[in-house]
Structure 1
Amino acid sequence: MTIPNLDSVFISQRTPLLRTLVKIVKNASIAEELVQETYLRVARSLRDKPVDHLEPFLFQTGRNLALDHLRRERMQSRTMLDDVPDEIMQAVPAPGSSSEDSLHAERLLQRLGNTLEQLSERQQRIFILSRLHGQGYAEIAAELGVSTSTVQKELKLIMTLCMTLIERLAPPT
């Protein structure tokens, strides 16, 4: 199919596609952006190779973009900040803070890095998969060949070590 064919299919399927994406992402404005991105992606694909069944391809591209969006959101929400109490977050220096605060923050990050380097290889892998890649306990357990309970216990231990270090190095208020 060609770009003019895409235009006619897109115009006729735009509303159903939008409804489908709203159901997935639960946000009309994000779904609208995904509809536009879907059109662009499909148009790019058509330049590279012909697509016999354009309508299903359009919907599958939209669904894939919506699922990618949800994965990115999930990863962003699963940061280490989730595990840090508010009072410690308040102690993190704001941009433009004093050089003493900046020096303290630099030391804290250095010591956290040193603490994480002292973990076993498996513990480091669990930490990276959980906090940086956003994987869940079951995914990590399957990848490492251990039980979900082991992953939970190891991650709890790692976070306890980090929190203890942060509390010990927190400046007096």
Structure 2
Amino acid sequence: MTSSNLDRVFICQRAPLLRTLLKMVKNASIAEELVQETYLRVARSQRDNPIDYLEPFLFQTGRNLALDHLRRERMQSRTMLDDVPHEVVESVPAPASSSEDSLHAARVLQRLGTAVEQLSERQQRIFILSRLHGKGAAEIAAELGVSASTVQKELKLIMAICITLIERLSPPE
């Protein structure tokens, strides 16, 4: 997906995204800032990894930014001492997730591990370098001695394989 595709999608979805974020944060100027930050984050993500479904990714990124903002706001409102430095408040971790969330995350992680084991050695290396070490396609390509295009194609295939295996391993609900 190119930058012009992102620009086109962003322009079309800007108003609905702004409404969504405004409902969440209940402040027009903050919602506007979050919309702009959403664009920047998506553009940054798109540089290293192609995004197939740009519109949902845009909205999810915006919602995540709004939730982060609300979490920071909640932590600041819980702080009774005005003399506590802002950096200290920012360093407080988010509340722990519920045991159900933890159990679900553990199951997904286990299924992902099983899915990764099914990949070829090169695919495993690409997956680890990309998703765990945050390296871009060009860096991975240089390290493995292949083209960036090959890495991007492999990543797309790897993600499809992982999603298929995770879905297949998921128990029916």
TM-score normalised over the length of structure 2: 0.48
TM-score normalised over the length of structure 1: 0.48
- The structure number with the bigger radius of gyration is 1
